[in-house]
Structure 1
Amino acid sequence: MDVYIPSETGEFLAFCAALVTVAIGLFFLFAPGLAFRAMGLALREGRRGGYAEARSTLGGFPLGLGLAAIFLAQPMVYLALGAAFALAAFGRILSMMSDSANTALNWALLLVQLALAALPLAYVFGFT
Structure 2
Amino acid sequence: MQGTKPQTLAYALTDSPIGLAAWISEKFQAWSDGDIRTTFSFDALLIEISIYWFSGTLDSSLRLYKESRKRPMHFKANERVLPPLGLAHFARELPLPPRSWVERVYDVRRWTEMPKGGHFAAMERPELLAEDIRAYFRPFRTR
TM-score (norm 2): 0.28
Q: Which entry has the higher C-alpha Rg, 1 or 2?
A: 2
The structure carrying a bigger strand percent of its residues is 2
Q: Which structure's relative contact order is higher, taking Cα pairs within 8 Å and 6+ residues apart?
A: 1
